[in-house]
């Protein structure tokens, strides 16, 4: 949980961001959409894609993989459409996923025995931003 506290406090730069290029317009649209998701809520890669007018949830995931603005852009609040955890920090298993689970649980998001999130916690955007 120490990493959870460090990430939530915003102490230090996001892991692995040194030497990166400035975010693209597309990445900024993704990050702006994620900033709208409040604590205690999650959204899906697909819902983000639809909101910003993109046909590819995978492209959203790739933008979040490169997120240099954590925790201001809370990419841990984005999950798969089947309400499972999805990826985190470019990983699908291991320590990064455990950290994502811990971050979500610290925001009172609960999971069933199959690590699916209750649909009542899914944030749905109002209209398309594009």
Q: Are 75 and 64 in contact (CB under 8 A)?
A: yes
17 domain-assigned: no
111 domain-assigned: yes
- 104: CATH: 1.10.10.10
Q: Which domain holds residue 49?
A: 2-12+23-119
Residue-wise pLDDT for 61-118, tens only, equals 999 999 999 889 999 999 999 999 999 988 999 999 999 999 999 999 999 998 899 9
Our count of domains for the chain comes to: 1
Phi, psi of 44 (to 5 degrees): -115, 160
128 domain-assigned: no
59 domain-assigned: yes
109 domain-assigned: yes
Residues tagged active-site: 75
33 domain-assigned: yes
6 domain-assigned: yes
42 domain-assigned: yes
Q: Taking all residues of the chain, what is their mean pLDDT, rounded to a whole number? A: 87
**Percent of the chain having pLDDT more than 90?**
72
Centre a 10 Å sphere on the Cβ of residue 119 and count the other Cβ atoms it contains. 8
């Amino acid at each position: 949980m120490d990493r959870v506290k460090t990430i939530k406090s915003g102490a230090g730069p996001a892991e692995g961001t040194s030497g990166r290029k400035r975010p693209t317009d597309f990445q900024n649209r993704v990050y702006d959409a994620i900033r709208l998701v409040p604590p205690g809520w999650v959204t899906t890669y697909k819902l983000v894609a639809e909101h910003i007018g993109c046909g590819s949830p995978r492209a959203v995931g790739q933008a979040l993989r490169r997120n240099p603005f954590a925790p201001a852009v809370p990419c841990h609040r984005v999950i798969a459409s089947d309400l499972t955890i999805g990826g985190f920090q470019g990983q699908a298993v291991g320590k990064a996923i455990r950290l994502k689970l811990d971050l979500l649980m610290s925001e009172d998001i609960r999971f069933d025995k199959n690590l699916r999130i209750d649909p009542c916690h899914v944030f749905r955007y109002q209209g398309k931003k594009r």
